[in-house]
Structure 1
Amino acid sequence: MQNPQKVQQAAAYIREHLSTPHEADTGIILGTGLGDWASSLSHTDVFPFESIPGYPRSTVQGHAGQLVAAEVGGHKIWLQQGRFHLYEGYSPAEVCMGVRTLAELGIKRLIITNAAGALNPQFDAGGLMLITDHINFTGTSPLIGPNHDAWGDRFPDMSATYSPQQAKLAMQVAEKHGIRLERGVYLGLVGPNLETPAETRAFRMWGADAVGMSTVLEVIAAKHMGLEILGISCLTNKNLPDCMEETSIEDVLNMAAASSGKLSALLSGILTEDA
């Protein structure tokens, strides 16, 4: 379980070092290769992860590793460029350090994005998927250990983890901007190895539409703390068990970059429509 004092110290450090007050009700986590949108935003302060007390370091390609106090159309947000993964050797608590710090900073809504492999044969690489539900196949949880009652209940309900209201907003924005937005279930596993054909077939049989190595633990922590959650996957490759093609982190980054324009338009629309 996360050390609450550690999270509070991180949030206090960020508040103390802001050049101007930044009251934001939305936090956004950008996944692997999805950082281009951030460069287009106006911002007041940037905190490299290594400057924040108690924060892990992001060691993965495609992750800038910083927390940004930004603004979109007059709407203040916290933007986390990069995240922490179990496969980097971090504990579930460390993986969720960013989410919990954002909650301590006062956000009420979390928009979480990731790069994922498409399992649904009707989905295409380069597309976007609204996460309607998830399967936690990491074998762990950020809630293991003593519960911090100030954050949430010992046994948080997960029957409606992803906000129907935020999903409706995302679909409306996608339609308005002519963006095809699939809907599906995300399966999160540890990695860093990619899936075998047999695993891909099994995950699809379980009802998963996309697979990746992040998000599920962060969402559990966010739900525990009472945040409204919207999840979006950037589908960077297509997993078909009977005709698997090799892929690499470079392929994932290239496809994420190619589809970042659609994600940027969707995120900007969601924020300005809801401002």
Structure 2
Amino acid sequence: MLEQKMSSLSFDSYEDCQATADWLLSRTKVRPTVGIVCGSGLGGLAEILKDPEVFKYSDIPNFPQSTVHGHAGQLVFGTLKGKPCVCMQGRFHLYEGYSIQKITLPMRVFKLIGVETVILTNAAGGLNQNYNVGDIMIIKDHINMPGFAGVNPLTGPNDERFGVRFPSMSDAYDRKLQQLAHDVASELGYSNFLQEGVYCVLGGPCFETIAECRMLRSLGADAVGMSTVHEVIVAHHARMRCFALSLITNKSVMEYDSQEKASHEEVLETGRMRAEKLEKLVSTMVARLEHNPSSQ
């Protein structure tokens, strides 16, 4: 019975991930130490890499394909501020129909190609009423709503070559990188729109109801979205440093007499509006990253 249950889970083995990593490494000379994941409307980060080498997700063995407007669906290798990087120009989500193990496969591939630090960006709805559209929120912690129902990327057999069976998540978001972000934002004059808070992930693809927004806010969430947390869990499990930013692209509707409605178009438009500053923040941080010995 247990074997039947395990066989029904859709996950890629260590060997599958290694095969994907080997395929990529055989086709590029870049040996990235930094992995960047671009959220909706934020794919421009990949476009500032020097000497880019681009691989479409559809060409990469074992990789799923991005189906969301605003996600280019390609892996880009290159250098950013002299640091070798790999950038996901578009990510995968539960609502696209993939298993949670499949949507986080790129994090394990990142680990196997040498990535030490993962920087993730997303577009999120602002639950904290002190946030404004266009604010950038440093994620200091998360609430994994799907995880409460047993939807976790670490479900299934654990391979110790990636990480331990029961990883701690109290330090999932690297505090030194959070401080670096604050320092860089201050130098760039971004402090007036930089926030720090808790991100809550939901399954999507619906935007949240008013009652759901009120509940999430009462639980301590400052922003809500449909990504990032699952990737962070897998990256942290594999001993990579994690840093994540949310671009607040809309204010969550909290009142029943409001005429406001969230839309994907608004998300993409806000991404375009703030993209240059977010790219500057991330690229300056990358330039100052140090070697992460704990990733070995």
TM range (shorter): over 0.9
Match of 2:263 among 227, 243, 248: 248
Corresponding residue for residue 5 of structure 1: 15
For 1:229 and 1:8, locate their aligned partners in 2 and report how far apart those are by CA, in whole Å: 21
Structure 2 letter corresponding to 1:267: V
Partner residue, 1:220:
233
Q: Which residue of 2 aligns with 1:161?
A: 172
**What TM-score does the superposition give when structure 1 sets the normalisation length?**
0.96
Partner-residue secondary structure (3-state), 1:234:
strand
Equivalent position amino acid for 1:198 in 2: A
8 Å contact 1:197–1:244 — kept in the other structure? no
- Cα distance 1:84–1:120, how it changes in 2: closer, same or farther (>3 A)? same
Q: How many equivalent residue pairs? A: 273
Structure 1: 5+ residue runs without aligned partners? none
Tell me the C-alpha RMSD between the 2 structures.
Answer: 1.2
Partner of 1:205: 218
Q: CA 1:244 to 1:119, structure 2 compared with 1: closer, same or farther past 3 Å?
A: farther
Query: Secondary structure at 1:195's aligned position in 2?
Result: coil
The runs of 4+ residues in structure 1 deviating greater than 3 Å are: none
Query: Are positions 1:37 and 2:45 aligned together?
Result: yes
The 2-side partners of 1:142 and 1:238 are apart by 29
Counterpart CA distance in 2 for 1:156 and 1:211 is: 24
Confirm or deny that 1:174 pairs with 2:178. no
Aligned to 1:16: 26
Question: Any gaps of 5 or more consecutive residues in structure 2?
Answer: 1-10, 291-296
Distance 1:55 1:264 in 2: 26
The verdict on how the C-alpha distance between 1:52 and 1:196 changes in structure 2, with shifts beyond 3 A counting, is same
> How do residues 254-269 of structure 1 correspond to structure 2 at under 5 angstroms?
254-269=269-284
Out of 29, 33, 42, the position equivalent to 1:25 is 33
Which aligned pairs between 1:120-139 and structure 2 lie closer than 5 A?
120-138=128-146, 139=149
The letter of the residue matching 2:134 is: G
Q: Deviations over 1:93-134 (max 9, x none)?
A: 111011111111111111011010010000111110000000
Moved more, 124-133 or 42-51: 42-51
**Distance in 2 between the 1:228 and 1:147 partners?**
20
In structure 1, what is the Cα distance between the partners aligned to 2:134 and 2:105?
29
> Contact (CA 8 Å) 2:46, 2:88: kept in 1 or not?
no
The residue number in structure 2 matching 1:70 is 78
Alignment of 1:76-91 (within 5 A): 76-91=84-99
